[in-house]
Amino acid sequence: DLEAKDFDESVENAKENIIKEAGGGATPDEIKELNRALVKAKRDADKNNETIAELTEQLGNEKTLRLNGVKRDAIHKALLSNNIIEPEQSIDLFFNRVAVDEDGSTVTMKGSDGSELSVNDAIADWAKEHPKYVERQVKGGAGSGGKGASSGGAAGAANGEIGANANSFSPIGASG
């Protein structure tokens, strides 16, 4: 038994020496398993990198859409406040001239002199230069806000449309 034990130990020592000389303490089966794990890890890393690239592209697209929406809203508000004719159709006229910062909080536009202006100020300047695109705000003068003479009411009363029996008014269908 002692000889068998010594023989087993010497075989085990020889095996360990061969493995160490071959490049490490791993058996061929362990090396195969490590290679499989390495290939799987590389495949997973490639898949994750592809997912990251797709998500980064999607994030960029969403950011562009959001910033374009901020630009369109700022232009639309400025067109409305400056009484520009057909504001929805006029947005594209100014869209490429508007700059917005990364977070969408500052929206500016280059004025005709090249200076940075708020979108509202730049469109107001443009409206002064192009008055034919500004909707005229017609406001009635004195007396035009009321109803016409033939419509009854206070204007009709002033014209004598209420008859002599004005004090004996009775609603339609009332008896008495």
**Residue 8 in tokens:** 């087993």
Would you place residue 160 in the very low, low, confident or very high pLDDT band (cuts 50, 70, 90)? very low
Give me the DSSP letters along 20-39.
HHTTSS--HHHHHHHHHHHH
Structure-model confidence comparison of residues 103 and 16, the more confident one: 103
Token reading at 139 = 């406001």
Residue partners of 134: CB distance under 8 A and separation at least 6 = 82, 83, 84, 85, 127
| pLDDT at residue 67 is higher than 60 | yes
Give per-residue pLDDT as tens, 37-62.
999 999 999 999 999 999 999 999 99
Is the pLDDT confidence value at 70 over 90? yes
Q: How far apart, in whole angstroms, are the C-alpha atoms of residue 133 and residue 32?
A: 77
Q: Return the pLDDT at 15.
A: 79
Q: Which residues does 153 contact at the CB level (< 8 Å), separation at least 6?
A: 147
**Does residue 83 contact residue 135 with C-beta atoms inside 8 Å?**
yes
Across the chain, mean pLDDT equals 79
Given a cut of 80, whether residue 132 has pLDDT beyond it is yes
Would you say 82 and 120 are in contact if contact means Cβ atoms under 8 Å apart? yes
Q: pTM, whole model, 2 decimals?
A: 0.55
Quote the pLDDT of residue 165.
Answer: 44
